[in-house]
Amino acid sequence: ASYDMGGHDTYMHKEISEQPDAVDRVLRGRIDDRFNTVHLGGLNLDAREARGIRRVKILGCGTSYHAGLIGAGLIESLARIPADAEPASEFRYRNPVVDPDTLYIAVSQSGETYDVLAAVQELKRKGARVLGVVNVVGSAIAREADGGTYVHAGPEVCVVSTKCFTNTVVAFALLALHLGRIRDLSVAEGKRIIEGLRKLPAQISEILESEDEIKKLAEQYADAKSMMFIGRVRGYPVALEASLKLKEISYIHAEAYPASELKHGPLALIEPALPTVAIVPDDELLEKNRAALEEIKARSGRILAVAHREQEKADHTIVVPKNEDELDPILMGIPLQLLAYHTALALGRDIDKPRNLAKSVTVE
Ligand code: G6P
């Protein structure tokens, strides 16, 4: 595919920049201010069926899997349905127990990833209900699913996913709110989340305005041979996705760990040559996350924090606007897309077409 780059040097930069509009699109026409809920036309799931769901299992690959991890957290916290995400390929190779009371959700930007499609087909064969959270309209996974929602990110050309990741997470927030309001989420809570969702486009624009500052930071960290990304609960999938993005386009080795697991192993790696990127939201886990920063500092590790206010234990902090706790991961991922981008740029990488990778993997 070839689309106009609109004055950007790379599709990745163009697609990162498009996120305020893309998020606006996924929200448009779906919010119901009368009942403080969300309407998603294509779900094919009535209220009675929605109440019968006992578990949610989300399947995807790569960045879509990470979006699914955040989605599972949103569904669990807003709809109070046990939910988890798993790489689609792992799922289909382990002869999973397919349960009729579980709602399965397949996530895919392209809608053509073979491992996801094969998982959907296996699920359908075993009588499961499968929804798709897909970007490309009319794609194989969208057609195979019983229903679902499009994420309306628009065409994504860069091999690595940015705007589609963000939109997919927002689509999951909508789905979680929809399920929550059918189940136990109160009117007031619904309103709180809706107000948060409406703030996202302007808050994303605000983050994009700090690009020059993030570029300078990227140039300072670009000499690292390896980087550690940590986060806790909602912050952990953000760390996973940020580390994947960095690996994919800069070829710097990166790993993501739950901050709480540092002491069970990776702390042994911490030294000045291994910088840590830490996700530190102002939420109920703030003090726990600060303690992790102290642990790292005590071992002379360099720290770049993504937080809602300056972190004194960190060498640098990227401050992002605060939203509702549940929606913070959406915003905290954005500066880390720019960090990966500018690191790769500083290293002269082919950003839109990283070596060895394809935009969609349609074979096994
Ligand atoms: C490939 C791409 C990744 C993408 C993954 C899943 O590996 O390189 O960027 O996240 O496929 O793609 P999908 O289209 O299913 O979201």
Pairwise CA distance, residues 23 & 238, whole Å = 18
Q: Ligand 1, closest atom to CA 141?
A: 15
CA angle 94–95–97, rounded 5-degree value = 115
Is pLDDT of 193 > 80? yes
Return the residue whose CA atom lies nearest to atom 2 of ligand 1.
Answer: 359
Quote the ligand 1 centre to 314 CA distance (angstroms): 33
Query: What percent of the chain is predicted at pLDDT more than 90?
Result: 97
How much is the mean pLDDT over the chain?
Answer: 96
Condensed to tens digits (0 to 9), the pLDDT of residues 197-225 reads 999 999 999 999 999 999 999 999 999 99
The reported pTM is 0.97
Ligand 1 contacts CB of residue 139 (under 6 A): no
Ligand 1 contacts CB of residue 135 (under 6 A): no
Condensed to tens digits (0 to 9), the pLDDT of residues 19-66 reads 999 999 999 999 999 999 999 989 999 999 999 999 999 999 999 999
Return the residue whose CA atom lies nearest to atom 11 of ligand 1.
Answer: 360
Is 216 tagged catalytic?
no
Quote the ligand 1 centre to 355 CA distance (angstroms): 14
Ligand 1 contacts CB of residue 17 (under 6 A): no
